[in-house]
Structure 1
Amino acid sequence: MRTRLPRWKTQPRRRSRPSRGPTTSRRRTQTQADATVDAAAAETAVRYAYQHWILVDLDKDLRARLVENGEINVDIIDSGMQAARGIVEFARVVVDEIRFTASDRAEVTFRLQWRDSPSPYFPDALSGTAVFQNGTWRISGQTLCLLAFGAGQDCAGAVLQLLTVPIGYSWAGDPATPNTISVPGFGEWTGSGTASLTIATEALAGMSKLTASEIDLVLASGRFGAGAGAPYVVANQRARLADVDGVTDLVYLRADDVVVHIHATNLTGQQITELASAIVG
């Protein structure tokens, strides 16, 4: 009498298929190499970051590791992508060239497509940058914001950082993200006595396309608190400075359409101007 083997022992083993669920950061963002350690691997990682951050249904934690400073504003970035679904859902990025300018930076030439045709917002090739941050290559915040503003959207999840804090002042925000300001957002530093420093940001898409006099008019509005001041220039950008009774306000427009408003007590206009040059991102 022949013994019948269980069916699982007589059938060939089938290869498991990869999951079709949401892509997770655990599976896709192992530690990567900078351009000095492995240029070929770095190029592959830059290409991956550019091609995947725009996928609207991408796992939000993975997207955060493909965007500069993304971990700071995971939910803000995700909300912004969902709000812009109608614009980005069928958008794709084609990377044409990657050129490393340092071990942790690269210049990227790329094109945006929509339904396999050139994007109506960006029909021509674009120039962007990538950065190596916290072990992964990412699309830079500046490139991300330029794309958002060009499409008439706010730059969700952009982050600015104050590199040099005035002597005697200390960060009053989340200790996990010191000296950082989201766009839009607000940061605060405290000093001795009544001394205080705040930096607020907001994105005004298309503002940099206005004439100099039109920008001056907007910056002088009551919206920014520097109406009592005078036109000013910060790093070749239009600004407005008000210094009244020990309270100083400096509001200026960055080239990426982000308006920065610095409000301080016990700091001079010159000190605040120097402070503005220490805000990067």
Structure 2
Amino acid sequence: MVLGSDLRRANGRGVAAAVVLVFAAALTACDDSGGRSTTVPTPSVEKSTSAQPSAAAPSDPAAAEKEIKRNWEKFFDPAVPQNDKQAVLENGDRMTKVLQGFNGDKRGQQVQAKVEKVEFTSPTDANVTYSLTLKGATALPGASGTAVEQDGTWKVSVKTLCALVQLSGNESPGPGC
């Protein structure tokens, strides 16, 4: 599924527009050019489809799935401090400015995620289907992203965060993307 494809649905336009504004604020915080595009891209995160089911999963798929869900929900939890979010984001130490912009925006403090499905594509990669909510209302249902195992922890992938930030319409998602 293409991120933002549900933005065209009439019943979710207001909430979806608010989510786009959240990511616009994150991008503005790290974009040196200050430029804006008038079109909103509909980025997607490429899903991997190459592994055999038996070779595609980590040694303990149930534990890995539980950790992915917990870490995705932590990453998108407004109450979680930035350092804790960086710990569950791939290359989190390089994504500081994007996270500062996101965490510093009032609307960003109202966005949460609910993981609906995890499909392992290798022992260290997974496709994740999730929904983003804004103030409890579903803004991006059935969004696609990826999780990666890095340094022994399952994390939200950088390409997932960058795809979400691109929803703001800016040319560059910022440092780290």
- TM-score, normalised with respect to structure 2: 0.60
Query: By how many angstroms is 1:89 displaced?
Result: 1.5
Whole-angstrom distance in 2 between the partners of 1:76 and 1:259: 8
**Could you say which structure has the higher helix fraction?**
2
- Two-structure CA RMSD over aligned residues (Å): 2.6
Whether the 8 Å CA contact 1:131–1:140 is kept in 2: the answer is yes
Pair 1:95-2:115 in alignment: yes
Whether the 8 Å CA contact 2:78–2:111 is kept in 1: the answer is no
Pair 1:112-2:132 in alignment: yes
Q: Which residue of 2 aligns with 1:245?
A: none
Q: Which residue of 1 aligns with 2:50?
A: none
Whether the 8 Å CA contact 2:146–2:160 is kept in 1: the answer is yes
Alignment of 1:184-263 (within 5 A): 205-207=169-171, 257-258=172-173
Whether the 8 Å CA contact 1:70–1:77 is kept in 2: the answer is no
Answer 1 or 2: higher relative contact order, Cα 8 Å, separation at least 6.
Answer: 2
Query: By how many angstroms is 1:77 displaced?
Result: 4.7
Give the residue type in structure 2 aligned to 1:112. Answer: L
Pair 1:59-2:81 in alignment: yes
SS of structure 2 residue aligned to 1:49: helix
Residues 213-269 of structure 1: CA deviation (Å, up to 9, x unaligned): xxxxxxxxxxxxxxxxxxxxxxxxxxxxxxxxxxxxxxxxxxxx4589xxxxxxxxx
Give the residue type in structure 1 aligned to 2:60. Answer: D
Alignment of 1:22-171 (within 5 A): 35-73=57-95, 75-84=96-105, 86-119=106-139, 122=140, 124-150=141-167, 152=168
Structure exhibiting the larger radius of gyration computed from Cα positions: 1
SS of structure 1 residue aligned to 2:84: helix
Whether the 8 Å CA contact 2:82–2:103 is kept in 1: the answer is no
- TM-score, normalised with respect to structure 1: 0.39
Query: By how many angstroms is 1:78 displaced?
Result: 4.4
Residues 1:141 and 1:259: Cα distance change in structure 2 (over 3 Å): closer
Structure 2 gap ranges (5+): 1-55
Structure 1 gap ranges (5+): 1-33, 153-204, 208-256, 261-279
Whether the 8 Å CA contact 2:78–2:109 is kept in 1: the answer is yes
**Could you say which structure has the higher strand fraction?**
1
Residues 79-120 of structure 1: CA deviation (Å, up to 9, x unaligned): 223332x2221211111110000000000111111122111x
Aligned positions, number? 122
Whole-angstrom distance in 1 between the partners of 2:118 and 2:174: 30
Identical pairs, percent: 25
